[in-house]
C-alpha cells in the first residue's frame, strides 16, 4: 500500500520530538514555573485550566472548528508536546495513533486517562469512521454532567500526582468546579424535564450522553460516521415528520449543507450546537436551550400528548398530511429522490448546490466534513 501524507507526518513525529528536546526559546522557558500539559480537545483543556489554575500551562491539539475525527498534528504541536509533562486523553480515535508516536520521542510523558471509571456507551456501525463492525466506545463523555465530574476528578488526581506541592489547590479548584457542574445540571434538568422521552435529530451522533442524562433520545442522520442507506434515511425522515421534529442539529466542524437538505425535507431548519467548545458548562446550557426551543416549536406529538381534547382530529390530520407529503415528494426540488439515484427516475442529476448526493458520494468525502464535489 502506498504511504499517505498522513503516515509520513506520523513517522516524522519522533524526529521532531527529538529536535525539540534539545532546547527551547526564551518565551518557552518563562513557563518553567508552571506544569506544561497538553489536552487533545478543548473541553478537556477547559477542565484542566479550571482545576490547574495558575499552576499549569495548558495547550490543546484540536483547535475550534477542527474535526477531531480527521485531525493531524502540526509540526509545531509535535515539538511542543516534547516539553509536556502530562497529556490528558479522553479516548478520541486520533489520540490512539498519535500518542503511540509521541511516547517514542518523549518517554517521560505521563498519560492521564480522563475517562477512567466511566462506562462508555457504544456508537453503532463503524464508530467514528474507524471500524466497520461492532462499533466502538463513544468518547463524548464530557456532555454528561455526571461523567464530567468523574473526568474532573481524574484530572485533579493526575495533576496532584505530578505536582504534589499544589495538591491542596487542585482539590479546592475541583470542589469549586464540581459545585458549578451540579448547578448547571440542575438548571438543565429543570429546563428539559417536560420533554422526557422526546427525540431530537442531529447530523453527526455525538450527544448520546447528553440525551441519556435528561431522558431524551438522539436520532442521527449519520450512522457510525457514514451516510445512511436510502431506506434508513426515508424511515428517519418519516419518523421526524410523524413526531413533528423541526430542527436538525449540526456541529460547527461539519459542513451544514447536507443537514439543510434533511431539514427542508421535514419542514424544519438547521441549528448549530457546539459539543467541542472551550467552555463546557456554557456549551451544555446552550445545547439545552436550543433543544428546548426546538421542542417548543414542534407540532403536537401523537403519543404522550396530555391534552386529549381534539386529539383524534389532529392524529387524522397528521396521517393525511404525511401521506400527502409523500405523494408530492417527486415534485419537490429537495425531495428524497435527490439523496440517491436509486430513489429517482430522473436521468439528470442535481448539482451539488441543489442537493448534495451525500448518499451516493464516497464515505470519505462525506465524513471528512468537506462538501462533496469539491477537490
| Same structural domain, 254 and 109 | no
Q: Is residue 372 part of a domain?
A: no
| Shared-domain flag, residues 200 and 111 | no
Same domain, 232 and 137: no
Residue 276 placed within a domain: yes
Which pLDDT score is estimated for 373? 36
Tell me the C-alpha distance between 216 and 203, whole Å.
16
CA distances from 176 to 170, 213, 227, 354 (A): 10, 22, 42, 50
Same domain, 363 and 265: yes
Q: Are residues 144 and 170 in the same domain?
A: yes
Taken in order 166, 170, 175, 179, the sign of the CA dihedral is positive
Beta-bridge partner residues of 199: 217
Assigned domain for 139 exists: yes
| pLDDT for position 137 | 87
What was the pLDDT predicted at 80? 85
Whether 53 is covered by a domain: the verdict is: yes
Q: What is the CATH number of the domain that holds 100?
A: 3.40.50.1980
CB atoms within 10 A of CB 29: 11
Which residues span the domain enclosing 128? 8-24+31-190
Cα separation of 343 and 175, whole Å? 56
* Same-domain check for residues 141 and 276: no
Question: Is 206 within a domain?
Answer: yes
What global pTM score does this model have?
A: 0.72
Write down which residue in 190, 215, 237 finishes a domain: 190
Residue 323 domain flag: no
The answer to whether 121 and 140 have CB atoms below 8 angstroms apart is no
Residues of the chain with pLDDT under 70: 1-32, 124-135, 224-225, 299-375
Same domain (yes/no): 174, 245: no
- The SS3 call for residue 57 is strand
Do 199 and 128 lie in one domain? The reply is: no
Residue 321 lies in a domain: no
Position 97 scores a pLDDT of: 76
In a domain, 250, yes or no: yes
Which of 140, 158, 190 is the last residue before a domain boundary?
Answer: 190
Query: In this structure, are 19 and 44 located in the same domain?
Result: yes
C-alpha 238/C-alpha 219 separation (Å) is: 12
Predicted pLDDT at 124: 62
Final residue in a domain of this structure, among 175, 190, 205? 190
Q: Do 200 and 182 share a structural domain?
A: no
**How far is residue 218's CA from residue 248's CA, in Å, rounded to a whole number?**
11
Q: 236-239 contacts: CB < 8 A, separation 24 or more?
A: 236/201, 237/262, 237/265, 237/266, 237/336, 238/322, 238/326, 239/199
Q: Are residues 257 and 161 in the same domain?
A: no
Are 184 and 40 within one domain? yes
Query: Do residues 276 and 41 make contact, with C-beta atoms less than 8 angstroms apart?
Result: yes
The DSSP code sequence of 226-270 is BPPPHHHHHHHHHHHHHTT--EEEE-TTS-SHHHHHHHHHTT-EE
Cβ atoms of 142 and 280 within 8 Å: the answer is yes
Residue 367 CA neighbour count, 13 Å, CB half: 20
Would you give the DSSP letter of residue 301?
A: P
At 300 the pLDDT is 61
> Residue 179 has what pLDDT?
98
Question: Number of folded domains in the chain?
Answer: 2
Amino acid at each position: 500500500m502506498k504511504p499517505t501524507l498522513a503516515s509520513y507526518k506520523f513517522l516524522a513525529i519522533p524526529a521532531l520530538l527529538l529536535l525539540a528536546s534539545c532546547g527551547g526559546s526564551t518565551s518557552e522557558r518563562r513557563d518553567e514555573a508552571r506544569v506544561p500539559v497538553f489536552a487533545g480537545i478543548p473541553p478537556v483543556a477547559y477542565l484542566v485550566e479550571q482545576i490547574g489554575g495558575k499552576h499549569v500551562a495548558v495547550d490543546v491539539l484540536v483547535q475550534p472548528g477542527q474535526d477531531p475525527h480527521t485531525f493531524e498534528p502540526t509540526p509545531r504541536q509535535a515539538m511542543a508536546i516534547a516539553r509536556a509533562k502530562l497529556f490528558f486523553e479522553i479516548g478520541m480515535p486520533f489520540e490512539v495513533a498519535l500518542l503511540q508516536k509521541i511516547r517514542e520521542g518523549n518517554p517521560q510523558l505521563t498519560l492521564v486517562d480522563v475517562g477512567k471509571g466511566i462506562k462508555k456507551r457504544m456508537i453503532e456501525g463503524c464508530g467514528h469512521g474507524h471500524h466497520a463492525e461492532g462499533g466502538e466506545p463513544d468518547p463524548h463523555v464530557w456532555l454528561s454532567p455526571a461523567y464530567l465530574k468523574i473526568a474532573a476528578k481524574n484530572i485533579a488526581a493526575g495533576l496532584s500526582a505530578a505536582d504534589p506541592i499544589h495538591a491542596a489547590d487542585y482539590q479546592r479548584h475541583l470542589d469549586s468546579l464540581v459545585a458549578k457542574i451540579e448547578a448547571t445540571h440542575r438548571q438543565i434538568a429543570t429546563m428539559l424535564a417536560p420533554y422526557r422521552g422526546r427525540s431530537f435529530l442531529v447530523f453527526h451522533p455525538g450527544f448520546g450522553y447528553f440525551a441519556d442524562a435528561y431522558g431524551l433520545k438522539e436520532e442521527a442522520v449519520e450512522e457510525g460516521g457514514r451516510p445512511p442507506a436510502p431506506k434508513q434515511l426515508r424511515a428517519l425522515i418519516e419518523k421526524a415528520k410523524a413526531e413533528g421534529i423541526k430542527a436538525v442539529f449540526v456541529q460547527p466542524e461539519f459542513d451544514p449543507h447536507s443537514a439543510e437538505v434533511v431539514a427542508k425535507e421535514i419542514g424544519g431548519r438547521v441549528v448549530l450546537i457546539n459539543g467541542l467548545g472551550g467552555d463546557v458548562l456554557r456549551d451544555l446550557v446552550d445545547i439545552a436551550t436550543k433543544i428546548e426551543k426546538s421542542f417548543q416549536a414542534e407540532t403536537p406529538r401523537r403519543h404522550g400528548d396530555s391534552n386529549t381534547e381534539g386529539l383524534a382530529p389532529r392524529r387524522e390530520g397528521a396521517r393525511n398530511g404525511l401521506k400527502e407529503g409523500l405523494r408530492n415528494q417527486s415534485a419537490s426540488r429537495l425531495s428524497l429522490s435527490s439523496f440517491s439515484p436509486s430513489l429517482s427516475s430522473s436521468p439528470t442529476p442535481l448539482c451539488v448546490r441543489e442537493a448534495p448526493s451525500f448518499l451516493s458520494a464516497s464515505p470519505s468525502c462525506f465524513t471528512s466534513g468537506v462538501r462533496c464535489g469539491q477537490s
